[in-house]
Structure 1
Amino acid sequence: MNRGRPRIFNPEYVLESAMQLFWRKGYEATSLQDLLQATGLSKSSLYDSFGNKQRLFEAAFTRYFDMRAVLMREELGRAASPLAFIRNCLNSVLEDVAPGHGPRGCMLVNVANEFSTNDPSVEKLIFLATRRFREVFVEAFEQAKISGELSQSKDPASLALFMHCAMSGLRTQVKSGIARKEILTVIEIIMANF
């Protein structure tokens, strides 16, 4: 029995390409043809490997938050101090631009806005992504307490929630075109709360 040609493609490349495309355009606006062009897959390879567009999206979104959480932990380890890491995270909202396309916003926020609570499988991924990012912020604020940068009366979990909400809001404002100077002013106000 002939099983056809073996799948020959780089899964990391495919997921990265799909992630970048979904991040830039969103789920609904990304067509199957867009995905085939971005990933280099044939239609049959895409369906054989991922099942359908939504499963590919879920794999690409998972890649986004898994990789982002790892990078954040690495950045925390390299930062001059825990609060320097927090400031760097806030400042990073000004740097997240897709080449030739302008600000993308946060993929997590984009996905949450697009899907809301309409899809249970995506809702679970949104919850998982949110938890992963907040865990890194909690770790940073705990380290800040230990190092004396942060008052012992401050609750790292509450600050992590505040930080997550602040980052989401800032990314949305950058995406909407608010001036860099205004974002930097807001970042100073946020930092004054730590």
Structure 2
Amino acid sequence: MARPKQFDPEIAVDQAMEVFWRKGYAATTPQDLVDALGIGKGSLYNTFGSKHALFERALRRYRDTQTAALVEMLDEPGPVKDRLRKVLKLLAETDLDDPDRRGCMAVNATAELASVDETAAELARRMLDRTESAFRALIEEGQRSGEIAPGRDPAALGSLLMNTVVGMRIVARVAEGPERLDRVIDATLDSL
């Protein structure tokens, strides 16, 4: 008779996400995961199949939670540029305040794995697509409200904003303070 699981797999995915986010995929060992999740290696493999399968679940969890939070903030009421500034400032502050300077797990996974791991690349691509789409919708709203010139291409501006966020997440990993990121935010908003 099989013993019942002594842990919640969904909580384990969250815990694994933190480990992969902090260390990256290659540097995370099965022992790191076992230690963080407080389970045996047998439970790890019986529940998730492999380190890579757990990484995929963790990256999906990251994508779903982070993108949902971003979209929710962009959908708040108020002027479009104010909402955008709030989101960009929050991302910068969150990254700068993180003692591990983890940046964005999806960006990190893209840099580490995109050329060798199609699944990780596709998961990151979907997150970037969803983020870009949310920015495009915000630009279109700004054009309807008169905050953003109607002749500007919303898809191109959505791509610009998504790329700005990716760059900011990387710069924040090594920034000594907020000044550079503040300049990027100001210049980005001025360009709209």
Q: Which runs of 4+ in 1 moved over 6 A?
A: none
Aligned to 2:153: 155
Q: Which runs of 5+ in 1 are unaligned?
A: none
From 81, 87, 96, the equivalent of 2:79 is: 81
Q: Following TM superposition, by how much is the alpha carbon of 1:190 offset from its aligned partner in structure 2, in angstroms?
A: 1.0
Distance 1:99 1:165 in 2: 22
Deviations 1:76-121 (A, max 9, x none): 2224222222212221232224987332111111111101321122
After TM superposition, the score normalised by the length of structure 2 is 0.92
Aligned to 1:34: 32
For this pair of structures, how many residues does the alignment match? 192
More moved, 11-20 vs 56-65:
11-20
The code of the aligned residue for 2:75 comes to G
Distance 2:59 2:88 in 1: 22
Aligned to 1:115: 113
Distance 1:64 1:161 in 2: 21
Matched residues, percent identical?
32
Distance 1:42 1:132 in 2: 36
Distance 1:62 1:110 in 2: 14
CA distance 1:70–1:114, change in 2 (3 Å): same
Aligned to 2:53: 55
Distance 2:168 2:181 in 1: 7
Please say if 1:46 is aligned against 2:65: no
Please provide the CA RMSD for this pair: 1.8
Distance 2:9 2:153 in 1: 41
After TM superposition, the score normalised by the length of structure 1 is 0.91
Q: Which runs of 5+ in 2 are unaligned?
A: none
